Structures are given as C-alpha cells and as structure tokens.
Amino acid sequence: MLSRLMDDGGTGGSLFRNIYRDFLKECDEMYPDMGIHEAYLKFAQIAPLWREVSKLIRRAGEDSNEGLLKEASHILLEIASLEEEAMKLLIRRGTVPCLE
C-alpha cells in the first residue's frame, strides 16, 4: 500500500519527481538562458530511482524480505545526494527560494 502511494498518490515519491522533471524540462526548453538543464538531467535520474524504491518496498512486504528494504535504503541515500545536487544547482541559478 505504501509503495503505491509513493508511485501513484502524490506523496512525494516518483509521481512528484516525474512531474517536477517534466516542469524543469519545459522551463529549460522555453527559457534556455535560465541554465537549469543540469538540474533537469538530475531529476531525470531521480524519478526512476524512486520508482525502484517503491517496487523494492512492495516486494519486501510481499516476500517478507529485509534485504530488499536494505537495498531500498541504499537507493534512498543515492536519491538524497542527487536531489541535494539538483537543488543546489537551482539555488545557484536563483530559480528556487533559498532558506539559509
């Protein structure tokens, strides 16, 4: 159930990342001088990783397999790093508000 919400329910998992990726792509195409192409590419990497996490969580629940949760955890660490990089790119470009 949780994995479906992550994918389809808009809880901030792959659904949101796919929408945000598409938003960044459209902005990049309309306003190439904004310099957000690298951030778009990061989100293009991030979205499928979230989908993989939700699949692993689903399979872990179905199979009672703790190893799959550990694998999901490692992917989440990778996602966190990529998202931090993407947001720093956007902040440097002045395209998102920065709360420091």
Residue-wise over 31-46: b if at least 16 C-beta within 10 A, else e? eeeeebeebbbbbbbb
In the chain, domain spans: 2-92
pLDDT tens string 5-46: 555 555 567 888 889 999 999 999 998 888 899 999 999 999
Q: Is 70 exposed, middle or buried (0-12, 13-18, 19+ CB in 10 A)?
A: exposed
Record the pTM.
Answer: 0.79
